[in-house]
């Protein structure tokens, strides 16, 4: 147990007592500075995050607003993802799904609201947050001339994971790419690229996996396989936040789904409860053909007009 830590603030080191060192490596600092140390309370940067309570959700988003100039992309949305949950974010094009994910990933600065990933604020502690989250990279982010084993080693290394040749071979075998190991990324099919990028996203065993439309453009076989891998990751204790346009996908893999549109959260339930809750809504009735489906609820709540 460390007894004190130095917190750099305004170019000066401040010393604080460590009240608790948690299993995840985060520190709870005592509010009072060490006697003899400068009389300054820990500021926001120095103070450790609230306890990563095992019972609390893995991700808590509260009143999140994201804006680009005058355009509000995400308008005060709140939701929580439970540990071990597959959570779907549904919404038409431009609804604000990617902006929500980008804020969680720490890539865009929210205009307001708070995000806590396992108790950590990703803006304040980006590297700590990044260690706990896996983000499926777009195929285009891989250097296309690198060979598959080189890509795996490179990205694992970025996450601080060192893999032996045998471990890489095992990993590639598990995703059906054992014979492609020496190929270049651009030589892989779309489904193979998807499997590789998912594998890399979870190489550091993240607590939360963020997937932005992971099955867009995949054939049915690849899509099923990806669902299987997502469920496998969940069985291993991971939580997943995915965005999708596919109601079938939401119904098949998501424990709960939130429907968002124009940046606002419209409803959040299990797929089954969503149908039960909105089946008598006249907007849903008007678009249903026979028994009400999740897609009827989606279209009923978000409207029939085409979005680009």
Ligand X SMILES: Nc1ncnc2c1ncn2[C@@H]1O[C@H](COP(=O)(O)OP(=O)(O)O)[C@@H](O)[C@H]1O
Contacts with ligand X by CB under 6 A lie at 68, 71, 73, 91, 93-99
Phi, psi of 174 (to 5 degrees): -65, -25
Strand partners, 162: none
Residue 100 beta carbon to ligand X: minimum distance, rounded to whole angstroms? 7
Contact in structure between 9 and 40 (CB atoms under 8 Å): yes
Give 225 or 243: the residue with its C-beta nearer to ligand X.
243
Residue 17: name its binding partner from ligand X, Mg ion, none (Cβ under 5 to 8 Å by kind).
none
Q: Which is nearer to ligand X, 72 or 270 (CB)?
A: 72
Q: How far apart are the first and last CA of the chain?
A: 55
| Residue 84 near which of ligand X, Mg ion, none (CB within 5-8 Å, type-dependent) | none
Residue identified by tokens 């007894």 is 3
CB nearer to ligand X: give 42 or 91.
91
Task: Select from ligand X, Mg ion, none the partner in contact with residue 73, using the beta carbon and a kind-dependent cut-off of 5 to 8 Å.
Answer: ligand X
* 274, HSE (Cβ side, Cα atoms, 13 Å): 27
- Shortest distance (Å) from residue 298 CB to ligand X: 13
Closest separation between CB of residue 155 and Mg ion, Å?
A: 22
* Contacted entry of ligand X, Mg ion, none for residue 88, CB cut-off 5 to 8 Å set by kind: none
The secondary element (H helix, E strand) that includes residue 155 is helix 148-158
Tell me the closest approach of the beta carbon of residue 67 to Mg ion, in angstroms: 16
Supply the minimum distance, in Å, between the C-beta of residue 212 and ligand X: 7
Find the shortest distance in angstroms from Cβ 98 to ligand X. Answer: 3
Between CA 253 and CA 231 the distance in angstroms is 7
Q: Which residues contact 88 (CB under 8 A, 6 or more apart)?
A: 242, 243, 244, 249, 250, 253, 254, 256, 257, 258
Which SS3 state, helix, strand or coil, does residue 185 take?
helix
Binding partner of residue 141 among Mg ion, ligand X, none, CB under 5 to 8 Å per kind?
Answer: none
Residue number, 26 or 244, with CB nearest to Mg ion: 244
- Residue corresponding to tokens 């346009």: 245
Rounded CA gap, 167 and 276, in Å?
47
Name which of Mg ion, ligand X, none residue 93 binds, using a CB cut-off of 5 to 8 Å depending on partner kind.
ligand X
Residue 44 structure tokens: 């926001």
Q: Give whichever of 17 and 95 is closer to ligand X, judged by the CB atom.
A: 95
Helix axes 190-201, 220-235, angle to 10 degrees: 10
Instruction: Give 272-275 contacts, CB < 8 A, sequence gap 24+.
Output: none
Q: Which does 99 bind (CB under 5 to 8 A by kind): ligand X, Mg ion, none?
A: ligand X
Cβ distance to Mg ion smaller for residue 214 or 300: 214
Smallest distance, ligand X to C-beta of residue 211, A? 12
Task: Give whichever of 98 and 149 is closer to Mg ion, judged by the CB atom.
Answer: 98
Closest CA to 129 of 118, 144, 138, 143: 118
What are the residues binding Mg ion (CB under 5 A)?
Answer: 97-98
């Amino acid at each position: 147990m460390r007894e004190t830590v130095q917190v750099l603030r305004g170019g000066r080191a401040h010393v604080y007592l460590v009240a608790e060192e948690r299993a995840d490596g985060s520190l709870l600092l005592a509010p009072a500075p060490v006697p003899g140390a400068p009389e300054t309370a820990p500021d926001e940067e120095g103070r450790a995050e609230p306890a990563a309570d095992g019972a609390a959700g893995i991700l808590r988003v509260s009143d999140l607003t994201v804006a680009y100039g005058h355009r509000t992309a995400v308008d005060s949305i709140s939701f929580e993802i439970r540990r071990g949950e597959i959570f779907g974010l549904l919404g038409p094009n431009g609804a604000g799904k990617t902006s929500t994910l980008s804020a969680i990933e720490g890539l865009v600065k929210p205009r307001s609201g708070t995000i806590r990933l396992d108790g950590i604020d990703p803006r304040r502690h980006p590297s700590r947050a990044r260690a706990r989250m896996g983000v499926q990279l777009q195929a285009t982010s891989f250097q296309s001339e690198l060979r598959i084993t080189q890509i795996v080693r490179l990205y694992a290394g970025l996450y601080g994971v060192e893999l032996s040749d045998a471990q890489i071979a095992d990993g590639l075998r598990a995703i059906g790419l054992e014979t492609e190991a020496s190929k270049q990324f651009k030589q892989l099919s779309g489904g193979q690229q998807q499997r590789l990028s998912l594998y890399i996203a979870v190489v550091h065993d993240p607590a939360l996996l963020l997937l932005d439309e992971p099955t867009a453009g995949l054939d049915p076989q690849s899509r099923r396989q990806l669902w299987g891998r997502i469920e496998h990751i969940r069985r291993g204790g991971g939580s997943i936040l995915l965005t999708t346009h596919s109601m079938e996908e939401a119904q098949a893999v998501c424990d709960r789904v939130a429907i968002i549109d124009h940046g606002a959260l419209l409803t959040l339930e299990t797929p089954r409860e969503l149908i039960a809750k909105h089946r008598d809504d006249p907007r849903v009735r008007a678009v249903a053909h026979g028994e009400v489906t999740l897609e009827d609820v989606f279209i009923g709540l978000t409207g029939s007009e085409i979005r680009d």
